[in-house]
Amino acid sequence: MIEKLVEGVHHFQSDVFASNKALFERLGDGQSPDALFVTCSDSRVSLGMLTQANPGELFVLRNAGNLIPAYGVPSGEGAAATIEYAVAALKVSAIIVCGHTQCGAMTGLLEPEKVAGMPAVIRWLEGAETTKRIVQENYKHLEGDALISAAVEENVLVQLENLRTHPSVAAALGRKELHLYGWVYAFQTGKVAAYDPETAQFEPLKQAPPPSGA
C-alpha cells in the first residue's frame, strides 16, 4: 500500500501540482476557506471528490463519528480549538456537519460489543450519549440498517446543537455572519441529504439548502 501512496505523491507533483502551480503559489500567502467541514474519519468519505472543493476552500475537522463535544468538555479541546480558529480567525461563513451511511462509530454506539477491547473508542463514544439516548427512546420500532441510519441523522442534529455551545459560534450566529448545515452522505449512491428545518427532515440536497435553524 505504501508504494501506491508514494506513486500517488509523485503523480501529484509531476502532473497535478504542475498544472495548478499558480493556485498553490497563492496558497503560500495564506488561507481563506469558505466553510468548516466537520465529518467522520471513515476512509470512504472523500471530501475532495464529494464537494469538488479546491485546496484552500475548506477547513476540515474529522474524527470518528463526526462528534463535536460541547464547549468546555476536556476531551473536546482539540475540536474546540479547530472550531474557534475557523470562526474567529478564518471567518468562515458556514459550518457543515456531515454524517454518512453505515457509520462504524454509530454502529459501535448502539452495539457496544462491536468495539469491545477498544477502550479509547469506548471513551470517545461516551461523547455521543445524547444521540444514543434519543435513538433508544424514540426509534424502538427500527432495527438493523434503518436504526443505524436514524442514529446517523440524529447524531448530526446533536452535533449542531453542541456547536451552538461554543462561544465563537454563538457570537457569529448572533451577528448573522455564520450559518450551520447538517448533511448526510450516502457513499453507495453519491447522494447527499440536508436537514431542512422547515420540514424537520433530511431532504435531497438542493442548490442552496437552508441553514439548519441558524
Question: Is 209 a domain residue?
Answer: no
- Residue 20 placed within a domain: no
Instruction: Judge whether 45 lies within some domain.
Output: yes
Evaluate whether 75 touches 98 at the Cβ level (below 8 Å): no
Q: Which domain holds residue 189?
A: 33-204
CATH code, domain carrying 90: 3.40.1050.10
The answer to whether position 19 is within a domain reads no
Q: What is the pLDDT along the chain (214 residues), one digit of tens a residue?
A: 899 999 999 999 999 999 999 999 999 999 999 999 999 999 999 999 999 999 999 999 999 999 999 999 998 999 999 999 999 999 999 999 999 999 999 999 999 999 999 999 999 999 999 999 999 999 999 999 999 999 999 999 999 999 999 999 999 999 999 999 999 999 999 999 999 999 999 999 987 777 876 5
Residue 197 falls inside a structural domain: yes
Rounded CA separation 162/151 (Å): 16
Domain-located, residue 160: yes
pTM: 0.94
The answer to whether residue 144 is domain-embedded is yes
Q: How many domains does the chain have?
A: 1
The answer to whether residue 165 is domain-embedded is yes
